[in-house]
Amino acid sequence: MNMTQPIIKVDSISKRFGGNQAVDHVSIDIKRGSILGLIGPNGSGKTTVLNMLSGELLPDEGKISLEDFDITGCSPSKLVQLGVTRMFQMTKVFVRLSAIDNLLIAGQALGLRKEECLERAAMLIKELTLENVQYLDAAQLSGGQKKLLEFGMCFMVPPKVALLDEPFAAVHPVMRQTMSQFIKDRHQKGQTFLLVSHDMPIIKELCEESVCMNAGKIIAQGKTKDVLDKAEVIEAYLGGDHE
């Protein structure tokens, strides 16, 4: 395995919905062990790119590779088995089951034995400070706790790449801190992330490099600071008034 080559290579993918060109020949390299930020105004095509990466949508054109293996058109369940996990903007947890049961299912779906799952679930519950609600049904958790739970489900088996869609949206500052610390810790251990967020301080704090999209195209990519300072980004994304 070549450690310098990108873990995910997105090669000129496009997606059209009727008359709307949602994504137009987008190419992104996600480096192994990096946290790449994907930013852009609403409707810029970020989530469509994420949907194609996680197998929810099939690109009209282009190719997506995971470690040289063509994953274009793979189903979401197949991609999770291959190591591409995703956290959704609208939380997806199993509401009529307890938090522990949610983690257990996520682990078992990836082939872990029950005892192994319980062990890992206990660690994640502690790390994500969900001890007080671990036996409650997911329906009874707050929005932020549900996000933390889904976050934990993504890491029952450490993935090759974690795709995070707005993980910090509508989350209490204390829980944000827990989540961002979790990302930093995992990043130090070599975990790769693609982080979609509108939260610029978090993007600056976590992502060394970022990609900015507007109207389905990439308008800037490189070091996060440089991207955020570009005039096109300020105009498209920050309304021309960026400090």
Partner 1 sequence: MIGKRNLWSNKLTLDLKFFLVLCCLIALVPLFDLTPYTLGILVISFYFALIAMGWNLLAGFTGQFSMAPAAFAMIGGYTAALLNHHLGLSLWVGMPCSVLVSALLGFLVGSTVLGLKGPYLSLTTLAFAEVARVVISNSHDFTRGDQGLNVPTLMQSRLGYYYLFLALLVLIALLIYALMRSRFGGFLLAIRDDAHGAQSRGIPIVKFKLIAFILSSAISGFAGCMYGTFTELVSPEMGLIQQAGIIISMVVIGGMGSLSGPLLGALIVYLGSEWLRSVGNIQMIVFALTVIIFARFFRTGLWGLFLKFYFSMLTDKNR
Region from 5-13, 66-74, 87-95, 232-240 binding partner 1, contact rule CB under 8 A = 87-95
Q: According to the binding rule CB under 8 A, does residue 92 interact with partner 1?
A: yes
Q: According to the binding rule CB under 8 A, does residue 238 interact with partner 1?
A: no
Indicate which single residue of 21, 72, 108, 180 sits in contact with partner 1 (rule: CB under 8 A). Answer: 108
- Give Cα 10 distance to the centre of its chain: 15
Neighbour count for residue 189 (Cβ, 10 Å): 8
Indicate which single residue of 35, 49, 53, 100 sits in contact with partner 1 (rule: CB under 8 A). Answer: 100
Q: According to the binding rule CB under 8 A, does residue 172 interact with partner 1?
A: no
Indicate which single residue of 11, 24, 61, 97 sits in contact with partner 1 (rule: CB under 8 A). Answer: 97
Q: In angstroms, rounded to a whole number, what is the distance separating the alpha carbons of residues 143 and 133?
A: 13
Q: In the range 137-166, which residues lie near partner 1 by CB under 8 A?
A: 137, 153
Q: According to the binding rule CB under 8 A, does residue 135 interact with partner 1?
A: yes
Indicate which single residue of 68, 70, 95, 204 sits in contact with partner 1 (rule: CB under 8 A). Answer: 95
Q: According to the binding rule CB under 8 A, does residue 29 interact with partner 1?
A: no
Write down the residue that tokens 């996520």 correspond to: 106
Indicate which single residue of 5, 12, 20, 75 sits in contact with partner 1 (rule: CB under 8 A). Answer: 75
- Give Cα 140 distance to the centre of its chain: 25
Enumerate binding residues for partner 1 (CB under 8 A): 54, 75-77, 80-81, 85-86, 88, 92-98, 100-101, 104-106, 108-110, 114, 135-137, 153
